[in-house]
Amino acid sequence: MSNSNALAGKHALITGGGHGIGGASAEALAAHGAKLTLTGRNMEKLEQMAAKLPGAEVRQLDVTDEAAVKRVFTEAAQSLGPVAILINNSGIADTAPFLRTSSDMMRRLMEVNLIGTHTSTQQVLEGMIDAGWGRVVNISSLAGLSGQPYITAYCASKHAVIGLTRTLALEVVKKGITVNAVCPAYVETGMVERGVDNIRDITGMSEEEARGELAKKSPQNRIIMPSEVGATVAWLCLPGSESITGQSIAMAGGAWM
């Protein structure tokens, strides 16, 4: 994706913006002139990412802390102007067979993946309505579109994000605001690294073999790069995507159609 000034003056806030999909989204939006606020729990990673993006601001945030979300979003808007683009990327994953999926695990994943998205979006929506323009992109997962064994809590939370996306898109459909979800399969992030480690621990496979097992789940026989997801996120915010709303865009190399 080439550079442009199409998003010049637009304030984009990214939760979980210090690395992986969040960091790639930050780089893609910055390439089109957006002003950036990166939030997350790990300040070291946030600062490392911001160092690559002149003018980007960082703020420590746990999206499960509603009071902190309200404070951080207010401070970010005071510094860089109203948030015009929100990328809800903060998320966690746990694996367990259904009978070992505790209520605590379910609550924890719902708190981060769903309620964190809900709380963050509420902070920016009124400003977007007032401006008559806004873009909300929720990072869901292929697991939000299809059932997969051993990740009940993760699947449920990511399905819920898609439900939120679709209903909110219709609520604001005439207000110049689009709301979409991006649903990648395995992406080369820390989450995949942990998955590879789990496969190695259970099967005794080498790292290369374990990665191969994950790659096989895609007809393209590959793991997605974060930059691909970042480019898709940016596209949903650029001129020309105005009619794309309420969608759950699968990035799975043909594994979901």
CA angle 137, 139, 141 (to 5 degrees): 140
CA angle 108, 99, 115 (to 5 degrees): 20
Supply φ then ψ for residue 250, to 5 degrees. Answer: -80, 130
Q: CB count, 10 Å around CB of 201? A: 10
Active-site residue (options: 154, 161, 226, 248): 154
As a whole number of angstroms, the distance between CA 248 and CA 228 comes to 16
- Tell me the sheet residues that pair with 187: 224
Q: For this structure, is 154 an active site residue?
A: yes
Q: Which of 127, 56, 140 is nearest to 85 (CA)?
A: 127
As a whole number of angstroms, the distance between CA 72 and CA 235 comes to 26
- Whether the CB-CB separation of 254 and 49 falls below 8 Å is answered with no
Buried b (16+ CB within 10 A) or exposed e, 98-121: eeebeeebbebbbbbbbbbbebbb
As a whole number of angstroms, the distance between CA 41 and CA 113 comes to 14
As a whole number of angstroms, the distance between CA 80 and CA 177 comes to 20
Provide the annotated active-site residues.
154
